Amino acid sequence: MALIKSVRGNHPRFGENCWFAENATIVGDVTMGQDCTVWFNAVIRGDVNAITIGDRTNIQDGAVIHCTYQRFKTTIGSSVSIAHNAVVHGCTLEDSVLVGMGAIVMDGAVVGTGSIIAAGAIVTQHTIVPPGSIYAGNPARFLKAVSLEQADIFDRTADNYVMYAKWFK
Give the three-class secondary structure for 43.
Answer: strand
Give, in order, the Cα–Cα distances in Å from 78 to each of 3, 69, 130.
23, 24, 17
pLDDT tens digit sequence for 32-59:
999 999 999 999 999 999 999 999 999 9
Task: Single out the residue of 29, 56, 49 nearest to residue 90, CA to CA.
Answer: 49
Cα-to-chain-centroid distance, residue 91? 10
Count of structural domains, the chain? 1
Q: Give this prediction's pTM.
A: 0.97
Domain of 113 in residue numbering reads as 3-168
Per-residue confidence band for 169, with pLDDT thresholds at 50, 70 and 90: confident
On whether the CB atoms of residues 112 and 145 are closer than 8 A, the answer is no
pLDDT score recorded for residue 122: 98
Angle at 158 (CA atoms; ends 16, 14), nearest 5 degrees: 25
Q: Give the chain's mean pLDDT.
A: 98
- Which CATH number covers residue 133? 2.160.10.10
User: Does residue 3 surpass a pLDDT of 90?
Assistant: yes
pLDDT score recorded for residue 82: 98
**What residues have CB less than 8 Å from 122, skipping those under 6 apart?**
103, 104, 106, 137, 138, 139, 140
How would you classify residue 152: left for phi > 0, otherwise alpha for psi between -120 and 50, otherwise beta? alpha
pLDDT tens digit sequence for 70-96:
999 999 999 999 999 999 999 999 999
